[in-house]
Amino acid sequence: MLAIKRQVLASTSRVLLRTNVLSGLVAGAARAYHNKVYKSSDEAIEGIKTGDTLLIGGFGLCGIPENLLKAIARRKDIQQITAVSNNAGTADYGLGTLLQSRQIKRMISSYVGENKEFSRQYLGGELEVELLPQGTIAERVRSGGAGIPAFYTLTGVGTQVETGGIPIKYSKDGEVVIASTPRETKVFNGRKYLMEEGITGDYALVKAWKGDALGNLVFKYAASNFNAPMATAGKITIAEVEEIVPVGELKPDEIHIPGIHVHRILKGETYEKRIEKLTLRRSAEEENELPESMKQRIHIIKRAAREFKDGMYVNLGIGMPVLASNYIAPEITVHLQSENGILGMGPFPTADKVDADLVNAGKESVTVLPGGTCFSSDVSFGMIRGNRLDMTILGGMQVSSRGDLSNWMVPRKMVKGMGGAMDLVAAPKSRVVVTMTHNAKDGSPKILKENTLPLTGVQCVDRIITDKCVFDVIPNKGLLLRELSYGETVDSIKASTGCDFEVASDIAETF
């Protein structure tokens, strides 16, 4: 009995001691902590040197660390940078300014897009560009930050991502002098996967909405994008924020990046927060005044909008497909996902609803519907690879009779980059619908027996919707002509298509 009383007293003493220690820690936390705040962007980038690898957050111009990039542009002694970023901003802003100043040796990106200087330097042999699928970059960076050396993915199987040969560096006369190497492959459950290695950087430069002196970060809307994974994968992470708040003001459950990942933080000196493609909602009257080429695109996408079914989760690719958000039938609910980190995307905004932190995958201003959510790029592509989407609608340059898709490059002439398309078409349970004009500007067919351009995906397309007709891709058989646009005939489709096809028994003009 005495032994039991002693044990109880000892336990009580330990509880009291632990309570006093915890009370002291709580009180101490309010008094002292390591301050990570820097006074300026110039001070914050001290230590970055020639040859460093920089992980740079943002998507287009949304959420870019614009003050840190300006600081590096002022440091002409920093040269030969390897920049890991989804893209390079515009020719005159964001990461594009470091291209202009020739401070970048190699870009590791998924998308060149409309940055003409980026494209010019790459095709002209002045810049090394390692093009990767967008989701692969996001996961490689996330894995690097999590200490995972490599992982396997379906993305890129059957394309030059697997076999190698994607140009990294051209000579001035257009010859490939550095090309990508083949990936190691492995079969899981009867399917081939590619191995991709994790990415880390000497420094990560990210931008958040709010932060505190401990380095805790909160992002706003779609500005989380690549900022979140990049923040975890730098040996030294530097964060610029719009507002530094007192420690304790950010609630524990609203912090997106814990301060353990952030080594330096500053309040950005000035913010322009440019919108790369300010896009506003059009009225029916404004649509009637559009040029014929735009009317043709709307004609295609209005037909594509009929593919939506109530309750679907759908990704809309950049360009023509994103227009579909404006033509969803009012009696159904469709949850639109944008790979830069939006679920529940709405139509283009009116002028009074524009927000620079809210853009779609095409860098166009958008809205988010009630109940919508925003998240980082690595989370977004986890949804895609994890077969959470019912359907993907994306554009195309070429589609073969067996459903192979090309939509990212014309070698030596035009390079957009694969963006998120390779990830989207690799998801085995997601229906893939391609929207495109039936013929190129020179009249040549885009629907062919075999693709002549580099592949985005192999046997991945389920339906093709053009300005002339609708084709279904029947596995192991080929194309089936399902519908005609008004004024078209089976013979006119045969004359404008580069391969044979079957015709549905109930073929009719439907759009």
Among 107, 122, 194, smallest CA distance to 157 is for 194
Residue 416: φ, ψ to 5°: -100, -30
- b (16+ CB within 10 A) / e for 172-189: eeeeeeeebeebeeeeee
Cite the beta strand spans of 332-367 per DSSP E. 335-338, 342-345
339 is catalytic: yes
Q: Which amino acid is at 48?
A: I
| Sequence-ordered list of residues with C-beta below 8 angstroms from that of 157, at least 6 positions apart, any chain | 185, 192, 193, 194, 426, 458
C-beta separation of 209 from 243 below 8 A: yes
- Six token digits for residue 6: 């002693």
Read off the tokens for 244.
Answer: 């530094």
The candidate with the shortest Cα–Cα distance to 61, out of 241, 204, 279, 223, is 223
Q: Which of 99, 102, 95 is nearest to 68 (CA)?
A: 95
Cβ atoms 93, 266 nearer than 8 A: no
List of residues 6+ apart from 252 with CB closer than 8 A: none
State the DSSP H helix or E strand holding residue 59, giving kind and residue range, or none if neither. Answer: none
**Strand (E) or helix (H) holding 292:** helix 292-304
- Which tokens sit at 502? 């079957």
- Given a contact cutoff of 8 angstroms between Cβ atoms, the answer to whether 312 and 334 are in contact is yes
- Judge whether 237 and 44 are in contact, CB under 8 Å: no
- What is the distance between the alpha carbons of residues 480 and 342, in angstroms, rounded to a whole number? 34
Give kind and range of the element (H or E) at residue 151: strand 150-153
Catalytic residue of the set 339, 450, 483, 502: 339
Report the alpha-carbon distance of residue 239 to residue 96 in Å, rounded: 19
Instruction: Say which residues have a Cβ less than 8 Å from residue 367's Cβ, sequence separation at least 6.
Output: 345, 346, 347, 348, 349, 353, 358
Q: Which residues pair with 457 in a beta bridge?
A: 405
The number of C-alpha atoms within 13 Å of 1 and in the hemisphere containing its C-beta is 0
The residues near 260 (Cβ < 8 Å, ≥ 6 apart) are: 215
Strand partners, 467: none
Tokens of 324: 């579909």
As a whole number of angstroms, the distance between CA 83 and CA 369 comes to 34
Look at the block and give the residue holding tokens 């139509």.
347
- Active site (catalytic) residues: 339
